[in-house]
């Protein structure tokens, strides 16, 4: 490290980047992170334009490089890519991978000079694509509303008519969520991913005058199976949005 680098905060720790990211060039932090990936056998995902791998792992680490278990469908078309993973705090992290060489089973990658961290909690509310909706029973009537976001513990409903929304502190039943998705691995059928939850409670109601919309925040407690499915969807969509953000 040069004398100027010793006084540069980015070589000592984390500094703000953009779009919610922090990054560091600290060799100590980067090496500690890579060592953790290696020792804990944490799954990482490799992606570049037109390609996203399944979970793979770091299998070796040296002073100048690291070795990643080669994905079976590795296309061998790009020499640079992104390696992303969740760190010990369950926050998305990534670094730029520069391919040095490849064997039949391994990718040999240059030791990264930078590490990026997206400062966002694990179970945040995920904004949903247009066309996402929910049906449920409220006061023995079947209701159908638009959904704005989703987490493993709740959802946000919206309407231009406040009379369509359930009232605060009221319970809704037989919740059926429908989200446009082509991800058949997450359980989508005919382009729709569905979740079913027994009941939920309206814990917040508010309006946005600028958008001329009314909102209701619902808290629910899905079954373990549905919670796992929701989390799988959230992580997959978060990964897609993260990839888009990096390319942007």
Question: pLDDT for 58-82, tens place per residue?
Answer: 999 999 999 999 999 999 999 999 9
Please write down the long-range contacts of 2-5, taking CB distance under 8 Å and 24 or more positions apart.
none
Return the pLDDT at 242.
Answer: 66
CA dist., res. 195 & res. 79, Å (int) = 40
Give percent of the chain above pLDDT 90: 61
* pLDDT digits 0-9 by tens, 172-194: 999 999 999 876 656 788 889 99
Place of tokens 């690291």: 66
Taking the model in full, what pTM does it have? 0.56
Q: Across the chain, how many H-helices and E-strands are there? A: 3, 17
DSSP state of 243: H
Q: Which residues of 120-140 are buried (b: 16+ CB within 10 A; e: fewer)?
A: eeeeebbebeeebbbebebee
Q: Say which residue the tokens 């890579």 belong to.
A: 34
Residue identified by tokens 């009232």 is 167
Split at pLDDT 50, 70, 90, the class of 88 is confident
Considering only 12-21, 75-84, 95-104, 170-179, which range has the smallest mean pLDDT? 12-21
Q: Which two tokens stand for residue 179?
A: 């989200």
């Amino acid at each position: 490290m040069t004398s100027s680098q010793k006084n540069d905060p980015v070589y000592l720790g984390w500094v703000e980047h953009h779009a919610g990211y922090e990054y560091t060039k600290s060799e100590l932090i980067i090496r500690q992170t890579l060592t953790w990936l290696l020792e804990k056998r944490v799954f990482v995902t490799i992606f570049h334009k037109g390609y996203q791998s399944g979970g793979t792992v770091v299998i070796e680490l040296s002073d100048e490089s690291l070795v990643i278990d080669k994905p079976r469908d590795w296309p061998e078309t790009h020499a640079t890519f992104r390696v992303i993973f969740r760190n010990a705090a369950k926050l998305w992290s990534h670094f730029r991978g520069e391919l040095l060489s490849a064997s039949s089973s391994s990718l040999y990658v240059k030791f990264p000079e930078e590490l990026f961290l997206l400062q966002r909690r694990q179970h945040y509310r995920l904004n949903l694509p247009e066309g996402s909706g929910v049906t449920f029973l409220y006061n023995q009537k079947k209701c159908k509303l638009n959904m704005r976001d989703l987490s493993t513990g709740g959802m946000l409903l919206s309407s231009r008519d406040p009379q369509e929304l359930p009232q605060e502190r009221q319970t809704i039943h037989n919740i059926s969520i429908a989200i446009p998705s082509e991800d058949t691995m997450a359980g989508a059928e005919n382009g729709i991913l569905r979740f079913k939850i027994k009941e939920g409670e309206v814990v917040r109601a508010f309006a946005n005058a600028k958008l001329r919309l009314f909102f209701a925040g619902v808290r629910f407690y899905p079954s373990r199976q549905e919670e796992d499915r929701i989390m799988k969807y959230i992580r997959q969509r978060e990964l897609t949005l993260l990839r888009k953000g990096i390319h942007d």
